[in-house]
Structure 1
Amino acid sequence: MRQEVSARISELNATYGSIEKVSDPEALAESIRELEAQAGDPSLWDDPSHAQKVTSALSAAQAKLRKLESLRGRLDDLPVMYELAEEEGDASIADSELEDLAAAIDALEVTTMLSGPYDEREAVLNIRSGAGGVDAADWAEMLMRMYTRWAEKHGHKVDVYDISYAEEAGIKSATFVVHGEYMYGQLSVEQGAHRLVRISPFDNQARRQTSFAEVEVLPVVEQTDSIEVPDSEIRVDVYRSSGPGGQSVNTTDSAVRLTHIPTGIVVTCQNEKSQIQNKASAMRVLQAKLLDRKRQEERAELDALGAGGNASWGNQMRSYVLHPYQMVKDLRTNYEVGDPSKVLDGDIDGFLEAGIRWRMAEGGANTGA
């Protein structure tokens, strides 16, 4: 086996050993046995909400253990693959497996860094167009597509709660949920202002235009968060949905707008046919915003006492340049790529990983912590 390959495998073993210490496969297996016992109890479904939590936790734990065991097996098999490759005089398959395995272990290592109190949650994303007129509205829609494409590639379901379409093109704002474990932990590093530089397709003189869109990322609220919102603090408005949709969506007053009177926070939802469903979805987003507001106030108090870290990511966090050159660069991590089209098609894993590592290096201050 080549010396550099041997050194690489030793390095991967060391990294994976650290991951195993954090993940603790034996404790995970014990947890699975306990959850399986609960899932096998005939009375479990007497409480559907609790049953759903148990089955979801069991499925997630089983998937996590399978991944750990699979990576360990692949890592143990790698030296054998290279021995066979040397006999055949072709190491291309073994080299490919080494690179794939290194990427998988690297990605798993990043998830072990997601230890904030809300990191395991699903994520609510709010995208709003900023300065730049019609280009900014178009840019906001491009960002929404980028995140939904990323979610689709990784098998995560996306539910769109609300879209406010701009008059000429693009969107004024959008609110959607990305389902799946650790979605908030991963996507929270995307919060901030995203800047686009390009030749405007809406300018008949083909001039270069700079436009901005703001991305807000919130954890989905669970019942245990104790964010109670009295009915007396909420104004409920119903109206007819706008934009693309089925007949009943556009012909009945099913859309809901909730206004939290004490804070002035406004949330809308129009993706469901039922007014009741839209109100429930809007309430989840409102609770997420109130939870985020509460966390920010608590962090501000800590910072005032000198106990806080870097509580703000700053405003402009990433630039996407399509003209006069091609580049996407994160201004916090300095991570950059030269193919914006791939990034805008959902290839943002490198940026997410760099952001999570940067956040850890800054002291582990999670935007949701």
Structure 2
Amino acid sequence: MAADIDNDIETLDRTLTSIEAVLDVPSMRAEIAKLGEEVAAPDLWDDQANAQRVTSRLSRLQAEVEKVTKLRQRLDDLSVLVELAQEESDSATLAEASGEYKVLRDDLEVLEIRTLLNGEYDERDAVVSIRSGAGGVDAADFAEMLLRMYLRWAERHGYAVKILDTSYAEEAGLKSVTFEVSAPFAYGTLSVEGGTHRLVRISPFDNQGRRQTSFAAVEVIPLIESTDHIDVPESDIRVDVFRSSGPGGQSVNTTDSAVRITHLPTGLVVSMQDEKSQIQNRAAALRVLQSRLLLLKKQEEDAKKKELAGDVKASWGDQMRSYVLNPYQMVKDLRTEYEVGNPDAVFDGDIDGFLDAGIRWRRQAEQAAS
């Protein structure tokens, strides 16, 4: 057992050393020092947008460096603990070291996933949209189940979520919903959820108890920042206002505060009704529209690169995950082959395994394409 844990610690040390190299901790420390000087400047808050960007970046970098530093210290402490246990032939201390090794291994695996999130927008907050697809009322109900799944996932991690727009279905569930997730690397993490989700179950809305297959589409885009400079001329948009509504068509308020913006050149449509005033909803809708245009621009650039690179075998399928509740219980990602046999836990927000597998799959696909 002692020899095994020595080998295990050596493996952890190689993993952590690789993570430290990928993150480039010395560069992160240098940037922290530079940002610290900017934060100390007396005129920092003269430009509030820049001040928020600087302080947010500083906070995230400090948290990342602290995390890596603590992991290195814990690994060093574990080595000392094992050495002490071996010298004194202390089985109890060796068992304690074995337990700490397992916890440290899991924590390193989480950080290793973080090193794979190095895309241009991966650090951003995310805007997630869910739309019911084929399947009638079951699809609308499925869309609401997916919303709860993501909200519970965010709650488990302590991430802030803001519902931006909701369109309720007539009988049950949702036609569509858009929400914002504020967390470090929210976009990079959740972007692997984009695609068509499929649910198979005995329909609770079918009085004959027949099995029903329904679909919902998930879209994930990075949140726009003031430094992105995505210009949207007034002549390129049409703005419609309407009255916000809730379930069953009941009016939420009695003024035309909800806003729908149509981007005429692309046909993109964004609706917003969460805010209290028309002005606030218009600003929020324009921000989401800019985010979608930003992603569209990047997709067009990526498409040109793929065209130059030739045919790439690895690609995201349209139907990316199946949730089967009958005749057996299973949730399976069709791209990564990752699966679990407990759909209830998944719908309650336990999706980290799917996210990690998706991030690793995407990296492998990118490497295969390069």
The residue that corresponds to 2:346 in the other structure is: 343
Q: Does 1:57 align with 2:57?
A: yes
2:127 alignment partner in structure 1 = 124
Query: What's the CA shift for 1:92?
Result: 4.8
Task: Report what 1:48 is aligned to.
Answer: 48
The question of 1:151 aligning with 2:166 is answered no
- Please tell me the root mean square deviation across aligned C-alpha atoms, in Å: 2.2
Question: Given the superposition, is the C-alpha separation of residues 249 and 355 from structure 1 closer, same or farther in structure 2, using an over 3 Å criterion?
Answer: same
Question: What is the identity percentage for the equivalent residue pairs of Structure 1 and Structure 2?
Answer: 60
Alignment deviations for residues 343-369 of structure 1 (CA, whole Å, 9 cap, x no partner): 111111111111111111112489xxx
Q: Specify the code of the residue in structure 2 equivalent to 1:11.
A: T
Counterpart-to-counterpart distance in 2, 1:160 and 1:310: 37
| Cα contact 1:143–1:344 (8 A) shared by 2 | yes
2:109 aligned with 1:106: yes
Residues 138 and 171 of structure 1 are in contact (CA less than 8 Å); yes or no, is this contact kept in structure 2? yes
Deviation at 1:80, TM superposition (A): 3.4
Q: Shift of the alpha carbon at 1:159?
A: 1.0
2:307 corresponding residue in structure 1 = 304
Q: 1:311 offset after TM fit, Å?
A: 8.2
Q: Which residue of 1 aligns with 2:79?
A: 79
1:26 is matched with 26
Tell me the secondary structure at the aligned position of residue 273 of structure 1. Answer: coil
Shift of 1:3: 2.2
Aligned partner letter, 2:6: S
Q: Does 1:69 align with 2:56?
A: no
2:290 to 275, 287, 292: 287
TM-score (norm 1): 0.93
Provide the rounded CA distance (Å) in 2 between the counterparts of 1:125 and 1:365: 28
Preserved contact between residue 244 and residue 251 of structure 2 (Cα < 8 Å): no
Deviation at 1:96, TM superposition (A): 2.9
AA aligned to 2:121 is Y
Q: CA, structure 1 residues 294+133, in 2 after alignment: closer, same or farther (shift >3 Å)?
A: same
In structure 2, what is the Cα distance between the partners aligned to 1:19 and 1:102?
13
Segment of structure 1 superposing worse, 352-361 or 94-103 = 94-103
Moved over 6 A (4+): none
Gaps of 5+ in 1: none
Match of 1:268 among 257, 260, 271: 271
Give TM-score, length-normalised by structure 2: 0.93
Per-residue deviation, residues 97-127 of structure 1 (Å, max 9, x unmatched): 2222111111111111111111111111111
2:130–2:216 contact (8 Å) kept in structure 1: yes
User: What is the one-letter code of the residue matched to 1:25?
Assistant: V
Any stretches of 5+ residues in structure 2 without a counterpart? none
Q: Is 1:115 matched up with 2:118?
A: yes
Aligned length: 365
Distance 1:157 1:135 in 2: 28
Q: CA contact under 8 A between 2:49 and 2:226: conserved in structure 1?
A: no
**How far apart in 2 are the matches of 1:95 and 1:248?**
59
| Partner-residue secondary structure (3-state), 1:159 | strand
Q: Distance in 1 between matches of 2:151 and 2:94?
A: 37
Note if contact 2:81-2:93 (Cα within 8 Å) is conserved in structure 1: no
